[in-house]
Structure 1
């Protein structure tokens, strides 16, 4: 994804541009009329929903992990943060509201905030040393984040669009997901006409890591079940 990981930092950084990038990748690997399986989690889940709404004829299956159908999930995330701040003593609600859900002053602030929030993402015992190493290896680009959370971009709402998607969908979520709370995945599953909801107990936003074997088994079963 442009501006993320090892991809080039080449604008524009908008939901529409990245959605079109996904379709360009589809055409490259599957041909103009080829179909693909779309899987997206968290912010990637926002993009996956936009893609399947716009390009549903090119999607065989949709898999969503720990995401939300609209920007309104921010209120629930703030509530969960306030309930669980004891898990992340270096974090604050201002870091979420003014940073993650708005903008960062620079890459360093972005990196420090995400390190402070790290303990909130898992239900298992948090390994601070491993968290530090992961944080140091991750590329944090404040400008890319800020563009995607600008006033023109952040107020996404797919709730009506999802009603038109006639694609088999698996919606999976950790029971204790803090930043895209369980209620958001329930709403997605209720809205998509052909969906299956999988709630994973004792798992958080990183459900695919915490319960990796269980999640992969269920994804395989879903894909084997056919449309």
Structure 2
């Protein structure tokens, strides 16, 4: 679909007459629609689910700029093209940044939004570095079937200074154990399979991590967002630790915070059944249910 001079790959699942949920993935240049479909696919028994690859990601065109504002404009463009009058937006990790941007800029069509393991500003990166570096030796000592995780490679990813798609792929693969609830729970086989299915676009990643992420700050605007919000986070998330979701929930005037005690960065997968129960309860509470 052509949206704002970019070609976006999207899929729609569920009954066209059901209320619509749009899911935003994380990791610009690293992630795509598939994990969102896996995590939220069960909701199609009650809802129409729209998943897509953001510009510069997955199967969508490599069309700059890769700014948070442009990503939010693309959500609005997609909504208009699909004729969606009201919807709930779900955004995890970097998709949570875009969700906040959208809720601030385009509140009218939103019935509610759900944030998963994200932050309101780029300051979380310093804390994430501390946590990650404290776990480097644990990852090494676990002798996992992953590429070696080095500080230099890690720093290049975090600073948006990756030299190639292949370098981004290898370093992200090496970093994956950090995202699990614990190193001992990391599934190396599943991680390898997932890595091979993904497309990596280092220029998209580099742009967002140099031009957007460091200066991003929604803290002043969030108190004006009155739309109902569900803020979720895994207790053991390293890259957007719990305190950053707590901060968002305090800033939003109509937010509920839920912490998943046995999850890392992805409680929607680590504790999927419990997570979806929480989502369904929130949607019911805000009246976002099928018309009878």
Q: Same fold (TM over 0.5)?
A: yes
What residue number does 2:55 align with? 2
Distance in 1 between residues matched to 2:95 and 2:122, nearest whole Å: 13
Distance in 2 between residues matched to 1:153 and 1:115, nearest whole Å: 21
Q: 2:177 aligns with which of 93, 98, 119?
A: 119
Number of residues paired by the alignment? 225
Q: Does 1:224 align with 2:278?
A: no
- Preserved CA contact (<8 Å) 1:39 1:48: yes
What residue number does 2:10 align with? none
Q: Within 5 Å, which residues of 2 pair with 1:40-79?
A: 40-79=91-130
Q: Does 1:83 align with 2:134?
A: yes
Q: Within 5 Å, which residues of 2 pair with 1:25-174?
A: 25-31=78-84, 34-89=85-140, 90-123=148-181, 125-151=185-211, 154-174=214-234
Shift of the 46–111 alpha-carbon distance from structure 1 to 2, 3 Å rule, reads same
Q: Does 1:15 align with 2:68?
A: yes
By how many angstroms is 1:190 displaced?
A: 0.5
- Structure with higher helix content: 1
- Preserved CA contact (<8 Å) 1:78 1:96: no
| Higher mean displacement: 171-180 or 89-98 | 89-98
- RMSD of equivalent CA atoms: 1.5
User: Tell me, which stretches of 5 or more residues in structure 2 are unaligned?
Assistant: 1-53, 141-147, 288-292
- Preserved CA contact (<8 Å) 2:112 2:286: no
By how many angstroms is 1:171 displaced?
A: 0.2
Distance in 1 between residues matched to 2:120 and 2:212, nearest whole Å: 17
RCO comparison, higher one (Cα < 8 Å, 6+) = 1
Deviation track 1:11-46 (CA, whole Å, cap 9, x = no partner) reads 222222111000001112235xx2221110001101
User: Tell me, which stretches of 5 or more residues in structure 1 are unaligned?
Assistant: none
- Preserved CA contact (<8 Å) 2:122 2:213: no
Distance in 1 between residues matched to 2:152 and 2:119, nearest whole Å: 21
